[in-house]
């Protein structure tokens, strides 16, 4: 019985969608198949202007950074 080989690949905020796609296509051509993807939060930031009205209002923002972890096997 053959055992699978596993590889984890992390794509952080420095990767563009095209770069991720190109990298995954290259890994696929080497025989790797995507098994699972996970979104791992790195940071959250809320910017809120002082206002008497509670909650988020015009001009407020929420930003999130995350890493995409891809589990591959062959």
Residue 19: its H or E element: helix 17-29
Of 28, 39, 42, 32, which is closest to residue 7 (Cα–Cα)?
32
Q: Tell me what pLDDT residue 21 has.
A: 97
What pLDDT sits at residue 56?
86
DSSP label of 53: S
What are the tens digits of pLDDT across the range 6-60? Answer: 999 999 989 999 999 999 999 999 999 999 999 999 899 999 988 888 888 888 9
Residue 64 phi, psi dihedral angles, 5° rounding: -135, 135
pLDDT computed for residue 6 by the predictor: 97
* pTM of the predicted protein model: 0.71
pLDDT mean over 63-72: 95
Mean pLDDT (whole number) for 55-67: 90
């Amino acid at each position: 019985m053959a055992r699978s080989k596993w590889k984890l690949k992390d794509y952080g905020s420095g990767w563009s969608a095209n770069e991720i796609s190109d990298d995954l296509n290259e890994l696929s051509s080497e025989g790797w198949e995507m098994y699972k993807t996970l979104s791992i939060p790195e940071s959250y930031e809320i910017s809120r202007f002082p206002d008497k009205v509670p909650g988020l209002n015009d001009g407020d923002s929420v930003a999130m950074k995350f890493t995409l972890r891809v589990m591959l096997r062959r």
